Amino acid sequence: MEKEILIKSPGKTLIKVTDDSISIIRKGFINLVNQGIKGEKTIPFKNISAVQLKKPGMSNGYIQFTLLGGNENRGGILAATKDENTIMFTKKYWNEMENLKKYIEKQQSILDNNSKETQISSADEIKKYKELLDEGIINQDEFDFKKKELLGL
């Protein structure tokens, strides 16, 4: 899936969504004042540890991405306007942002499951090579080589 969402208020922000990442491209004067010139920021879903969604009411809403190893911004709406991992939006975009959050969480789950399957199959392969070693079909050097290869070392 590749989708683009254009937020026109407050400030122009283009969001590009793929199967495994989100890109944030800020445009317009308001974003220039709040964010400066930052260009495009791409965040892989695997690096997102949390997605916070604040519904717009008396003030704008926002979707904020907390990154692994990053400093989470806890300053509320005022700090969110300066946070490069936060996208501000008006009521008009609430449904799209709610769907975006759900999509990211779904994709993270899929990526996590794929990673677990890869780990299990690597362990199974190592076990098979150990059995071949124990049966004398391969030698220790061949086993060590395959083990390192499967573990990505």
**Axis crossing angle, helix 94-134 with helix 140-151, rounded to the nearest 10:** 180
Domain ranges for the chain: 3-107, 115-151
**Other beta carbons less than 10 A from residue 49's beta carbon:** 13
DSSP state for residue 97 in the 8-state scheme: H
Q: Which secondary structure element, helix H or strand E, spans residue 42, and what is its range?
A: strand 40-44
Cis? peptide before 56, omega within 30° of 0: no
- Residue bearing the bigger pLDDT, 1 or 131: 131
What pLDDT score was predicted for residue 117? 65
Please answer whether residues 65 and 22 qualify as being in contact, where contact means their C-beta atoms are separated by less than 8 angstroms.
Answer: yes
Confidence of residue 3 (pLDDT cuts 50, 70, 90): confident
| CATH topology assigned to domain 3-107 | PH-domain like (2.30.29)
Instruction: Please write the tens of the pLDDT for every residue from 22-77.
Output: 998 887 655 454 555 566 789 999 999 999 999 999 999 999 999 987 666 666 66
Encode pLDDT of 89-122 as tens digits.
999 999 999 999 999 999 988 888 777 666 667 8
